[in-house]
Chain A
Amino acid sequence: MESADQFKAVQPLQYYKRFLDQNIRPDGRRLQEARTTTVNVNFCTHANGSAMVRIGNTTVCCGVKAEITTPSVTQPNDGIIVPNVDLPPLCSSAIQSGPPTDYAQTSTKLIDDILVSSNLIEKKDLCIVPSKYVWVLYCDIVCLDLDGNLIDASLLIKLPVVSVNEKTGKLEYDHAKTTSLTLRDEPIATTFAAFDSDAIIMDPTLEEENLCNGSFTITLNKEDDICSLFKPGGTELDNQKLQNCLKHCKRRVNSVRSLMQNAVSS
């Protein structure tokens, strides 16, 4: 047993490859198996909508706060959605306090892009009085425990959050009239990591993310169409592999979707 630990410490990549050759991962998962995922909605009473998602050890929580603001001149009918991914120093030893890290910034941008491309929330729905008042939704995503696969977890959050988002009031002093926001879509992301020996694994842990030579994230919408594919560098990926991943991705998305429906309805 001890020698296995030593082997892992000295040659982590070799150690992993031994496992991958046997079509299994060190934590006992198959290559295309995700970690246990739990979704929990409405944990925070002060937020208009909130959710907490765990994928294995990775824990992410998100609170949405709706506030009233004036719209931009060019788009007087559109509400504003501001996502932000925060990786506080609390969540990992690798992060020091200070301005957001590059990783947090790319994650924020990716989520923003997916929000726009999937048309999750119709911005016109957020309009109160054209060119005067619109809602601004601050979607703040805080990572509490960083153990790989942040993006997937973050995106999962979006959905339950916004679906329970309540809106209050019509004009300024109008009293509580709450309507929930209709969601146009359900984007769900799945991240894969590629090792150079043709092995592609789903839902990598932090350890696996650090070892692999490239990862990519596929986001599917309600109709199982790809609404975003994010691949920041790494090894090349041929069409066949991609198709293969897509298949696994669809399977994963279905299971996640039912998880979320359960969480929201309970």
Chain B
Amino acid sequence: MPTDTKRLPVPETSICPSTLIEDISAKKLPLISNNKRRDDRLCTQLRHVYAKLKVISQAQGSAYIEIGNTKVICSVYGPREVKKRDEFSMDGQLCCDFKFATFSCPQRRSHLSDNEEKELSQQLLNALSPAVCLNKFPKARVEIFALVLENDGSAFSAAINCASLALVDASIELYDIPVAACVRYDGVNLIVDPQLNEEYSHQESNLSEENGQVLVAYLPVLKQISALNHVGCLSSKVLNQSMKLCIEATQKMHTIFQECIKEKVKSIMD
């Protein structure tokens, strides 16, 4: 564990009290009973979505999104000039940073980015870059920062959505608005937009053989998939089904975002 000289010293080890209490009750519950999920939703029902543009005064563009209890804030800066000479390119560059706030998850996270966050930053970049007109800002870079304030499931897809809204707010030219959604398969059912206690985790013990989670970021107008990511063991048939469900869900989200952007434009016009 490297010591962090720029922050106050912390105890070397500490245990989170929630790990000591075995949370059996929630895990034993089936994902679906009487066609209802643990939070009374239907299989394909999304959680309540709230999105707002322009939440950070200092940023070129910013957005805040709440999907159920999952809260993500995202800001976009740029286009800025590229400082290093070796990074010169005629296409613009995107630069993504995805971070969980230290208090956002049941387990406290470190201030420094761990591998998961670094990898998700890379995936965020992959999901957004097909949608951005990079040729419009040669020799410059756009920086995108996403911060998860609270993770209650599907945090990464919320971050993709939040980042695309922030790009819209920053007036970066886009081919389309990437919208992401998640689907979980538990061996029997496919459920859309899982919350934290429904998400796939290999830590869970009593899992059936076929189990997993699929994330799709979709460009609804171009009808293209910009990001695809799945974990867990799935047959290609289920994979296809979940992809279709994801796409359906992104289309629902897309209409919500369109409303949100319309409102924003209206307020500027007035």
Say whether A and B bind each other. Answer: yes
A positions within 8 Å CB-CB of B:
43-47, 50, 57, 59, 61, 63-70, 80, 82-84, 86, 88-93, 97, 99-100, 105, 108-109, 112, 136, 138, 140, 142, 144-147, 168-169, 172-173, 175-176, 206
B positions within 8 Å CB-CB of A:
6-11, 13-18, 20-21, 55-60, 69, 71, 73-75, 77, 97, 99, 101-106, 108, 111, 143, 145-147, 149-152
Residues of A within 8 A of B152 (CB): 45
Residues of A within 8 A of B111 (CB): 84, 86, 140
Residues of A within 8 A of B101 (CB): 61, 63, 140, 142
Contact status B103-A173, CB under 8 Å:
no
Contact status B75-A138, CB under 8 Å:
no
Contact status B7-A89, CB under 8 Å:
no
Contact status B104-A68, CB under 8 Å:
no
Interface secondary structure of A, over-half rule: mixed
Contact status A90-B7, CB under 8 Å:
no
- When A65-B108, A82-B10, A169-B17 are in contact, do A89 and B149 touch as well, CB less than 8 Å? no
**Min C-beta distance of A149 to chain B, whole Å:** 13
Contact status B17-A97, CB under 8 Å:
no
- When A44-B150, A147-B57, A176-B21 are in contact, do A100 and B145 touch as well, CB less than 8 Å? no
- When A46-B151, A63-B103, A64-B103 are in contact, do A144 and B14 touch as well, CB less than 8 Å? no
CA distance A91 to B14 in the complex (A): 30
Contact status B58-A67, CB under 8 Å:
no
CA distance A92 to B143 in the complex (A): 12
CA distance A76 to B73 in the complex (A): 40
Please name the residue on chain B nearest to A138 by beta carbon. B108
CA distance A147 to B58 in the complex (A): 7
- When A69-B15, A84-B7, A108-B8 are in contact, do A93 and B20 touch as well, CB less than 8 Å? no
**Most A C-beta atoms less than 10 A away, residue of B11, B75, B105:** B11
Contact status B6-A100, CB under 8 Å:
yes
Contact status A169-B145, CB under 8 Å:
no
Contact status B97-A108, CB under 8 Å:
no
Contact status A46-B10, CB under 8 Å:
no
**Min C-beta distance of A215 to chain B, whole Å:** 19
CA distance A64 to B103 in the complex (A): 7
Contact status A57-B151, CB under 8 Å:
no
CA distance A86 to B104 in the complex (A): 14
**Most B C-beta atoms less than 10 A away, residue of A46, A57, A63, A66:** A46
- When A46-B106, A90-B145, A136-B11 are in contact, do A173 and B20 touch as well, CB less than 8 Å? yes
Residues of B within 8 A of A112 (CB): 8
- In the complex, which of the residues B8, B17, B58, B102 contacts A168, with contact meaning CB atoms closer than 8 Å? B17
Contact status B58-A91, CB under 8 Å:
yes
Contact status A69-B14, CB under 8 Å:
yes
CA distance A109 to B5 in the complex (A): 13
Residues of B within 8 A of A57 (CB): 57-58
**Min C-beta distance of B119 to chain A, whole Å:** 16
Residues of A within 8 A of B149 (CB): 43-44, 61, 142
- When A140-B103, A169-B17 are in contact, do A93 and B58 touch as well, CB less than 8 Å? yes
3 smallest CB-CB distances across A and B, nearest first, come from: A63-B103, A69-B14, A90-B145
CA distance A57 to B59 in the complex (A): 12
